[in-house]
C-alpha cells in the first residue's frame, strides 16, 4: 500500500464471516485451536488442501469438519488433541505476528475503560498484528465503524491477513497507511485508541476527531511515556477524567491437594491512560492539589 492509501479487507467469503460467533459442527476454512495433554495450544485453519501439522504428526482436516467443538482427534502419531473454536483469549497470543500484540489481560480493560459499545465509531492507531482490531470489531458489531491508521506497510498487511483468516470479512473496517497525527480526518468519533510511542502528538487531531464526551485511550509500556502523555493532556486542558492504570494477572495451579499460584505470572505489560473530551470552548476545572 502507498502512504495514505486505504483498504477494506474482505479476503474471505461471506459464509465465513466472524467465526467467533459460529455454532454447530466445524466447517471448512474456519479457525480452530487444538490442545494437547499439557494444554499447549496450536492455532490452525481447516484448510482441506493440507493437513494440520503438529510436532511432526499430521491431523486430517476431514477428521475435524462436521464434528462438534470439544471433540478429540488424533494425529498420525496417535497423539490426542481436543479441538475447539478459539476464544479471543486463545486467539490473540497465537496469532502470526512480526510485532508485539496487546495481550488479552489488557484487551479486556481497554474495552471497558474505553467504554466500547455496538455501533461505536472508533479510530485506532498502531495496528501491529491486528489483535486489538479484532477485539474492537467484535465490540462495535456490524453497525460500528473502525478506522485504523498504521505507518508500516508490513504491519498493515499482517493485520489484514490475520483478520481475514481468524475473524472474517470486516466491511466496516478501513485501514489507512500513514501517520495518524497528520492523516486523521474523521469526525464525530466516539473513541480514539492509540498504541503509539508518542501519543501526545495526537492530542490535537484526536480532540478534533472526537465528539464531546468521547474517550481517548492510550496504551504505553513505560512510566516516562505515561508522564509525558498525562502532562500534555493536563496542559491542553480540553480533556478531563484523566486516569492511568495497569492490570496484573496471576493464574493458579490446582492439582489434587496442591493449590498455589503459578510460578510465572503475566505481570506488567503496559499502562492504560484514558481521558474524556470536553465540549467545544470548555476547559477542565481547576484540580485540588
Distance CA 235, CA 232 (A): 5
Residue 267 C-alpha cell reads as 505481570
For residue 96, the model assigns a pLDDT of 86
- Percent share of the chain, pLDDT over 70: 93
Q: Give the pairing of strands 189-194 and 210-220.
A: parallel
Distance CA 210, CA 247 (A): 26
pTM: 0.86
Residue 247 C-alpha cell reads as 492490570
Distance CA 191, CA 288 (A): 28
Looking at CATH, the fold of the domain delimited by 23-84 is given as Vcp-like ATPase; Chain A, domain 2 (3.10.330)
Q: Which of the four pLDDT bands, split at 50, 70 and 90, describes residue 289?
A: confident
The number of beta carbons lying within 10 Å of the beta carbon of residue 111 is 18
For residue 176, the model assigns a pLDDT of 97
For the chain, the domains span: 23-84, 90-277
pLDDT tens across 159-181, in order? 999 999 999 899 999 999 999 99
- Percent share of the chain, pLDDT over 90: 81
Tell me, yes or no, if the two domains 23-84 and 90-277 fold the same way. Answer: no
Return phi, psi of residue 125, to 5°.
-130, 130
CATH class of domain segment(s) 90-277? alpha beta
Amino acid at each position: 500500500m502507498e502512504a495514505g492509501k486505504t483498504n477494506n479487507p474482505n479476503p474471505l467469503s461471506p459464509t465465513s464471516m466472524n467465526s467467533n460467533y459460529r455454532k454447530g459442527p466445524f466447517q471448512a476454512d474456519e479457525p480452530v485451536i487444538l490442545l494437547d495433554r499439557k494444554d499447549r495450544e496450536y492455532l490452525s485453519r481447516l484448510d482441506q488442501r493440507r493437513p494440520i501439522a503438529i510436532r511432526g504428526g499430521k491431523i486430517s482436516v476431514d477428521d475435524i469438519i462436521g464434528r462438534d467443538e470439544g471433540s478429540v482427534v488424533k494425529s498420525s502419531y496417535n497423539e490426542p488433541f481436543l479441538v475447539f473454536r478459539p476464544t479471543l483469549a486463545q486467539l490473540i497470543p497465537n496469532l502470526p505476528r512480526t510485532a508485539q500484540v496487546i495481550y488479552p489481560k489488557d484487551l479486556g480493560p481497554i474495552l471497558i475503560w474505553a467504554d466500547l459499545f455496538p455501533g461505536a465509531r472508533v479510530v485506532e492507531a498502531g495496528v501491529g498484528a491486528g489483535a486489538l482490531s479484532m477485539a474492537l470489531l467484535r465490540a462495535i458489531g456490524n453497525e460500528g465503524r473502525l478506522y485504523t491508521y498504521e505507518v508500516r506497510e508490513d504491519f498493515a498487511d499482517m493485520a489484514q491477513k490475520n483478520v481475514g483468516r481468524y475473524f472474517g470479512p470486516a466491511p466496516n473496517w478501513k485501514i489507512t497507511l500513514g501517520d495518524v497525527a497528520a492523516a486523521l480526518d474523521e469526525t464525530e468519533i466516539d473513541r480514539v485508541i492509540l498504541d503509539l510511542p508518542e501519543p501526545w502528538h495526537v492530542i490535537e487531531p484526536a480532540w478534533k476527531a472526537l465528539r464531546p464526551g468521547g474517550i481517548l485511550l492510550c496504551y504505553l509500556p513505560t512510566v516516562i511515556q505515561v508522564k509525558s502523555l498525562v502532562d500534555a493532556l493536563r496542559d491542553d486542558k480540553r480533556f478531563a477524567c484523566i486516569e492511568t492504570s495497569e492490570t496484573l494477572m496471576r493464574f493458579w495451579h490446582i492439582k489434587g491437594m496442591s493449590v498455589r499460584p503459578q510460578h510465572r505470572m503475566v505481570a506488567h505489560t503496559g499502562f492504560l491512560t484514558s481521558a474524556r473530551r470536553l465540549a467545544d470552548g470548555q476547559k477542565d476545572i481547576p484540580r485540588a492539589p
